[in-house]
């Protein structure tokens, strides 16, 4: 058997022995792991049972503490002490037992109806023999049960609550809300009577999973997965320590049944992961010992084979080294030949570059003598290259010549080496040519020399001279323009300043006079002393400089301070010189408008005084209207008595006198009522009772009321209302007042035999549904220029001054009433003849629209 075959046989035998030993050790470890998993499962099930029983006992104590005072405040205090992050309680609620005849009283008490959950929506509960609604629940978060939710209609919750209501012990109640993911686990405990239950929601994650994160403990729940089923719900687990993972298909390691809280619970435990046994350190030590023994045998076998192989390899390496040395010597000879050829080619290439370069190149030895120069240098100097060889470089360039003979050329070259410098090249005609020199040192193995590159800069020198002359000319122009600008600033009557970085750099005479400063005191200083306070200075800068940097002209009004400490109102105008470069600064103009400000304050005070006087006049008018109306009612009362007595005595003359007195008194009473209403509107004391009423009926009553007056003038009133029962949010009395004014005006101006049409209809606008009411007459109409002014106070149309009479208050009162109804009123003329008065009001008051169209009557004061 050769060396490779023995090596393979030994390896295969060693692998077989180690695999057999590993398999035996792994089987022992697997059996021990199964026993440990069974122990952890049994311990976990017992631990979960103890926790659930402890929560049931704690719930009974909570129910006893709440039994004497189940008010909302006591429930809130109990919730604050119970529902915390370190407890498994997630919610606390009160559930009541309600019979059908008690349903209405319960709904009135909680201001909500008893509801059920259908398709994730709360709907009123149908009639049932009994209900278990939630009367209160804390905390009010996304997991809270809605108030009024009937738990008796969810699964078997009704049976559990019946059991809790007749039992002294709490009951564990698993439920699944319709339309929600997962199930709830609650504890139901009876309070002081059979009709009130305490509902405590359990957080499953705190009940099982939190125990896995207890530091420094070895909880059995860390090693197994525990699942609990209720006997009534065998299809879905009640508790699961890994709810996001599917249930294992394999049978559980350990199962046990417990009766907790009126429920038969089945506990099952599964291994946390696959039962993959792992060898312990002692097992690995046994395997390592066996492997070491096999390796020792394998090493002894291979040592003898290696000793023989080593002698053969040493002889072979000696032969290879001899062949390598021979090959290396041949390669060195070839490299030397190629290097000499490359050196010759490099010298020829450098010589060609030197000859073809357009720059003048001079080679100088270490003594300062010219070694060689290219054709460009010869043309620049005006001599041939042969005549310049061995010539001292100082003859051509004075900057490379030293008067001290003791100083060598190397010292001069070190001063200029590595950086360009300017010099004057002496040509053959003694003309000095300005050039730019670059001096570099070239070091050889046994010597060194210098390379000087010369560039003709005579044209550049001429351009620099022209630029200097142009610069001087521009400086003179800038100086002239600067003097002109200073003259303009000093001649300007407006205070002006040039400010950079909020520091004054230049001001004019008007600025110094306005702020009472000398120029030397403020130039170069900050603008902070001119403001009332540092806060005002900082606030103004933040507000204005962002606009200045956008290229805008800014304007502001500030109170500024002069050098003597006097404050005055100043109007500022600012503009950035170049918004893209803020460092160039800004130009500011200052205008004192203190006198104008004082005049404005005086006018404002006068306006306030006038408004107060008008308000006092209105109050006086309102009070006087009340005082005048009281005796007027007495006059009208005695007038009616006089009329009745004259009619009984058949005294026609006296009856006519009393009729005229009553007519005049009624007119005076109407005027006083209008004045009183107008006064109330002006001071905001007009009262409205707006509710949902039949507008058509209101209009019909007013038309019937005004029909006798219209009949005296042989005028007919026609009413058209669509629909017949047009409901709207109105104050019937005030709308009647508007219609009386409009119909009274229409009757006054309608000719004998004329017609008045009153129309009411619904109109759907873009935002809301409106009611539009129109009054059409056959009178002369309203002049086009007076269609708006007739609604002003004490203003009458020119057509009323022909004898129809009036005070000019009726239409003003109409506008106030319609405005209070969130509507508008306006007038227009009919195409043929007559006036058209229209008012539009919303069908539903905006205040009611936000409350779900609740049309219950309400009273608003204005």
pLDDT digits (tens, 9 = 90+) for 34-89: 888 788 888 888 888 888 888 888 888 888 888 766 567 788 888 888 888 888 88
Closest CA to 596 of 560, 573, 569, 558: 569
Mean pLDDT for the stretch of residues 693-715? 90
Of the ranges 199-213, 407-421, 550-564, which is most confident?
550-564
Which pLDDT does position 699 carry in this prediction?
Answer: 92
Read off the tokens for 53: 């029983």
d(CA 639, CA 493): 80
Mean pLDDT for the stretch of residues 652-665? 80
The residues pairing with 301 across neighbouring beta strands, listed in sequence order, are none
Q: Which residue has the tokens 């805008």?
A: 552
CA distances from 178 to 132, 151, 161, 751 (A): 16, 11, 18, 74
d(CA 361, CA 62): 107
Which pLDDT does position 388 carry in this prediction?
Answer: 82
d(CA 558, CA 564): 17
Q: Are 775 and 802 contacting, i.e. CB atoms less than 8 angstroms apart?
A: no
User: How confident is residue 862, by pLDDT bands cut at 50, 70 and 90?
Assistant: very low
Q: Which residue has the tokens 């969810």?
A: 154
Mean pLDDT for the stretch of residues 100-105? 90
Residue 717 has pLDDT above 90, yes or no: yes
CB atoms within 10 A of CB 449: 17
Residue 500 has pLDDT above 60, yes or no: yes
Which pLDDT does position 799 carry in this prediction?
Answer: 59
d(CA 843, CA 569): 53
Read off the tokens for 792: 């002003």
User: How confident is residue 371, by pLDDT bands cut at 50, 70 and 90?
Assistant: confident
Closest CA to 233 of 170, 150, 172, 156: 156
Residue 771 has pLDDT above 90, yes or no: yes
* Collapsed DSSP state (helix, strand, coil) of residue 518: coil
Helices (H), 492-570: 509-515, 519-522, 534-548
Which pLDDT does position 804 carry in this prediction?
Answer: 44
> Of the given ranges (391-400, 691-700, 816-825), which has the lowest mean pLDDT?
391-400
> Of the given ranges (211-215, 264-268, 412-416), which has the lowest mean pLDDT?
211-215
Closest CA to 220 of 46, 44, 50, 47: 44
Mean pLDDT for the stretch of residues 97-105? 90
Which pLDDT does position 379 carry in this prediction?
Answer: 84
Q: Are 782 and 806 contacting, i.e. CB atoms less than 8 angstroms apart?
A: no
Q: How far apart are the first and last CA of the chain?
A: 121
Query: Running DSSP on this structure, what letter comes out for residue 821?
Result: T
Residue 798 has pLDDT above 80, yes or no: no
Mean pLDDT for the stretch of residues 272-298? 76
Q: What is the pLDDT of residues 190-209, one digit of tens each?
A: 987 778 898 999 888 888 76
Q: Are 780 and 802 contacting, i.e. CB atoms less than 8 angstroms apart?
A: no
Q: What is the pLDDT of residues 27-36, one digit of tens each?
A: 887 777 788 8
Mean pLDDT for the stretch of residues 617-633? 68
Which one has a higher pLDDT value, 1 or 171? Answer: 171
Radius of gyration of the chain, Cα coordinates, nearest whole angstrom: 57
Q: Is 451 exposed, middle or buried (0-12, 13-18, 19+ CB in 10 A)?
A: middle
The structural domains of the chain, ordered by start, are: 42-271 (3.30.450.350), 357-456 (3.30.450.20), 492-591 (3.30.450.20), 593-685 (1.10.287), 687-861 (3.30.565.10)
What's the pTM value of the predicted model, to 2 decimals? Answer: 0.36
Q: Which residues are CB-neighbours of 723 under 8 A, at least 6 positions away?
A: 696, 762
* Collapsed DSSP state (helix, strand, coil) of residue 759: strand
Mean pLDDT for the stretch of residues 803-807? 51
> Of the given ranges (237-241, 513-517, 720-724), which has the lowest mean pLDDT?
237-241
Q: How confident is the prediction for the chain on average, in pLDDT?
A: 82
Residue 571 has pLDDT above 80, yes or no: yes
CA distances from 776 to 618, 658, 742, 833 (A): 34, 36, 10, 10
Residue 476 has pLDDT above 90, yes or no: no
Q: Which residue has the tokens 């994160």?
A: 213
The residues pairing with 94 across neighbouring beta strands, listed in sequence order, are 136, 198
Q: How many angstroms from the chain centroid is the CA of residue 859?
A: 41
Which pLDDT does position 170 carry in this prediction?
Answer: 93
Q: What is the pLDDT of residues 164-174, one digit of tens each?
A: 888 888 999 88
Mean pLDDT for the stretch of residues 372-394? 83
């Amino acid at each position: 058997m050769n060396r490779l075959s023995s090596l393979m046989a030994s390896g295969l035998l060693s692998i077989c022995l180690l695999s057999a030993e590993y398999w035996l050790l792994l089987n022992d470890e697997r059996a021990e792991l199964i026993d440990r998993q069974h122990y952890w499962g049994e311990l976990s099930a017992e631990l979960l049972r103890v926790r659930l029983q402890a929560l049931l006992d704690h719930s009974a104590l909570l129910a006893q503490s709440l039994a004497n005072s189940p008010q909302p405040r006591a429930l809130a205090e109990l919730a604050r002490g119970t529902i915390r992050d370190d407890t498994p309680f997630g919610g606390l609620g009160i559930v009541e037992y309600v019979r059908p005849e008690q349903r209405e009283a319960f709904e009135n008490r909680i201001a909500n109806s008893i509801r059920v959950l259908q398709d994730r929506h709360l709907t009123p509960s149908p009639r049932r023999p009994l209900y278990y609604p939630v009367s209160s629940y804390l905390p009010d978060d996304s997991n809270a049960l809605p108030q009024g939710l009937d738990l008796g209609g969810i699964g078997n919750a009704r049976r559990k609550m019946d059991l809790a209501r007749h039992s002294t012990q709490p009951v564990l109640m698993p439920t699944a809300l319709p339309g929600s993911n997962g199930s709830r686990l609650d504890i139901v405990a009876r309070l002081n009577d059979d009709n009130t239950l305490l509902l405590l929601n359990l957080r499953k994650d705190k009940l099982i999973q939190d125990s896995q994160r207890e530091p420094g403990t070895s909880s059995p729940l860390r090693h197994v997965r525990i699942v609990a089923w209720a006997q009534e719900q065998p299809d879905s687990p009640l508790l699961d320590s890994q709810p996001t993972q599917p249930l294992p298909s394999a049978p559980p390691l350990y199962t046990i049944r417990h009766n907790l809280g009126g429920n038969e619970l089945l506990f099952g435990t599964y291994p946390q992961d696959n039962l993959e046994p792992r060898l312990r350190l002692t097992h690995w030590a046994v395997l390592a010992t066996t492997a070491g023994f096999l390796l020792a045998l394998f090493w002894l076998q291979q040592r003898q084979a290696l000793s023989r192989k080593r002698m053969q390899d040493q002889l072979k390496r000696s032969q290879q080294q001899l062949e390598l040395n021979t090959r290396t010597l041949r390669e060195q000879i070839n490299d030397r030949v190629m290097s000499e050829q490359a050196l010759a080619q490099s010298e020829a290439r450098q010589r060609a570059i030197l000859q073809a370069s357009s720059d003048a190149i001079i080679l100088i030895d270490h003594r300062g003598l010219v070694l060689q120069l290219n054709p460009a240098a010869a043309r620049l100097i005006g001599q041939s290259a042969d005549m310049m060889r061995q010539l001292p470089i100082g003859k051509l360039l004075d900057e490379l010549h030293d008067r001290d003979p003791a100083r060598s050329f190397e010292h001069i070259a070190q001063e200029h080496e590595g950086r360009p410098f300017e010099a004057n090249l002496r040509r053959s005609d003694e003309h000095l040519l300005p050039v730019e020199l670059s001096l570099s040192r070239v070091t050889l193995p046994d010597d060194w020399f210098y390379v000087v590159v010369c560039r003709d800069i005579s044209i550049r020198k001429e351009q620099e001279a022209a630029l200097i002359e142009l610069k001087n000319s521009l400086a003179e122009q800038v100086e002239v323009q600067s003097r002109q600008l200073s003259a303009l600033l000093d001649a300007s009557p407006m205070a002006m300043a040039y400010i950079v970085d909020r520091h004054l750099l230049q001001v004019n005479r008007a600025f110094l006079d306005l702020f009472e400063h000398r120029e030397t005191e403020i130039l170069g200083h900050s603008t902070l002393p001119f403001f009332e306070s540092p806060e005002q200075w900082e606030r103004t800068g933040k507000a204005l400089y962002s606009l200045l940097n956008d290229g805008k002209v800014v304007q502001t009004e500030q109170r500024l301070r002069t050098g003597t400490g006097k404050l005055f109102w100043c109007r500022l105008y600012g503009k950035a010189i170049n918004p893209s470069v803020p460092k160039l600064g800004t130009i500011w103009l200052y205008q004192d408008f203190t006198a104008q400000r004082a005049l404005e304050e005086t006018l404002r005070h006068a306006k306030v005084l006038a408004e107060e006087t008008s308000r006092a006049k209105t109050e006086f008018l309102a009070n006087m209207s009340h005082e005048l109306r009281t005796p007027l009612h007495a006059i009208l009362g005695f007038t009616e008595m006089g009329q009745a007595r004259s009619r009984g005595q058949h005294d026609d003359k006296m009856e006519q006198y009393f009729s005229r007195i009553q007519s005049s008194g009624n007119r005076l009473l109407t005027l006083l009522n209008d004045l009183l209403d107008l006064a109330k509107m002006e001071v905001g004391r007009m009262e409205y009772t707006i509710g949902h009423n039949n507008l058509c009926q209101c209009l019909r009553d007013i038309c019937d009321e005004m029909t006798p007056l219209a009949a005296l003038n042989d005028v007919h009133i026609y009413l058209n209302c669509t629909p017949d029962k047009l409901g709207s949010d109105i104050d019937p009395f005030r709308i009647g007042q508007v219609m009386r004014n409009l119909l009274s005006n229409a009757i006054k101006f309608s000719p004998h035999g004329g017609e008045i049409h009153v129309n009411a209809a619904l109109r759907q606008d873009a935002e809301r549904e409106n009611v539009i009411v129109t009054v059409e007459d056959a009178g002369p109409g309203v002049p086009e220029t007076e269609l708006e002014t007739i609604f002003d106070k004490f203003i009458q149309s020119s057509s009323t001054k022909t004898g129809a009479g009036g005070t000019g208050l009726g239409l003003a009162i109409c506008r106030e009433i319609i405005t209070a109804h969130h509507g508008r009123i306006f007038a227009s003329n009919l195409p043929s003849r007559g006036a058209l008065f229209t008012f539009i009001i919303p069908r539903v008051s905006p205040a009611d629209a936000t409350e779900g169209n609740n049309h219950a009557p309400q009273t608003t004061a204005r």
